[in-house]
Amino acid sequence: MFLKHTLTRSSSHKNLTLIAAARVVLWAVAELLIGVNQLWLHLPFNEPLVHCILAVFALTAIAAFIQARSAGHITRYVMLGHLTLDVLIMTWVFHLVGGAANPFVSILLFPLTISAAILPSRFTWLMVVLTLGSYGSLFIPVDGETNLVVDHSQHSHSHGDQQSVFSLHLVGMWFNFAISAILISFFVVRMRQQIQQQQQKLNTQREKALRDEQLLGIATQAASAAHHISTPLSTMAIIINDLHQSQASEPIQEDLKLLSAQIDNCSEVLNTLRHRENNNKPIPLALFIHQLIDEFKLMRPEAVLEENADDTSTFKISPDPSLRMALLNVLNNAADVSPKKIQLNITLVKRTLHLKIRDYGMGLPEDFANNALANGIETPTISSKPKGMGIGLFLSHATIDQHQGKISLTNMEPGTLTYITLPLFLDTPISSHSVANQQ
């Protein structure tokens, strides 16, 4: 049970545990130094009051241990409160034991260093102000008396120069503390941010490697499926061709033409999969959109697609067939849930293609939406469709991401809005006549 709790604790809980352990160490060192003073040094200070303050410090350590063991969320403000409490308690002790002349006063840098390591920079600079103010307050006499371990008021006038030099030394210590605090706050925070950025890059690369591995597995299965599907498609094409030669009625002939077109489309897709050309030359965006819409209407003749497009004659786009298949998959998903009305809005903003595909179905179920949209759809999801395989959305996202694009899904009232952005290539204007000829 203890091991399970330890593994499930957040980093904030672990950090608070370390802070509590540091308090115990500081309390033990302080009590040890008081014992050394009693045996050998005999420096005067209010020892009972110091013991009481250290007892409070020990209690805060116990409270921090208990809070770190709890299941509650520990916020950054809670961590800041603990570090602030440490600074105030240590400053109170230093006021009673030597003030600014205490050789251990630099321990005030410890909470500041922790803040720079785990808290946002704004909290760290707040700790800088607090620690510098606390150190500066140690120069203020307590109850109208000097708070230095050595009472210089008892020195003779001949020792006035030495007293001035010692006071200057204490002021220099404060400036040295201030410089150290600023350097720690600036550079430690910068180093922590660099480490976090590197960690984010590593996580991104790890997720990309996992996704590429999954894509490779899917591609292998797709190649195997293409090999097995080609023979049935050829058989169906022969049978349909024979039926064309028969004396079938006109409605049946129309259905046969549709089936023949569907088979030709499947064969073309399989040929593209088997003989993918390494042609990276961009094609006109108008041609790409025209082919996309024509292929979708051929695949889904029952679907009603409402188009609204900006002028696309001045841009080009990647010719990769996988990109067109990814967009077709999104349109097919919309047609599955809303065949009678699908809206496709195409806009161009600063050499970026914006596609908004809106369906009017039931929308994404809450559990599926949370799963599909988490972490940028990095893994195949459980499909919300009864016969869905759960890889369409994953493949679309992976393909669009490989083309430096983005895809997001938003539940609407009613339906779902799929928002896709893709980079474009600037081209010289192409007339509609030339585009028609290319088509």
Ranking 1-5, 71-75, 240-244 by mean pLDDT, the lowest is 1-5
Q: Domain 281-438, what fold?
A: Heat Shock Protein 90 (3.30.565)
192 pLDDT above the threshold of 60: yes
Q: Cα dihedral sign for 383, 422, 420, 293? A: negative
On average, the pLDDT of the chain sits at 77
Ranking 110-114, 345-349, 411-415 by mean pLDDT, the lowest is 411-415
Query: Which band of pLDDT confidence, cut at 50, 70 and 90, is reported for residue 241?
Result: confident
Domain boundaries, the chain: 2-144+161-206, 281-438
What interhelical angle do 109-118 and 76-96 show, nearest 10? 170
Give this prediction's pTM.
Answer: 0.56
- Of the ranges 37-46, 122-131, 195-204, 399-408, which is most confident? 122-131
Task: State residue 92's pLDDT score.
Answer: 93
Overall average pLDDT of the 47-63 stretch: 93
Summarize pLDDT for 161-183 with one digit per residue, the tens: 565 666 676 777 888 888 888 88
Summarize pLDDT for 256-299 with one digit per residue, the tens: 777 887 787 777 767 766 555 555 678 888 888 888 888 888 88
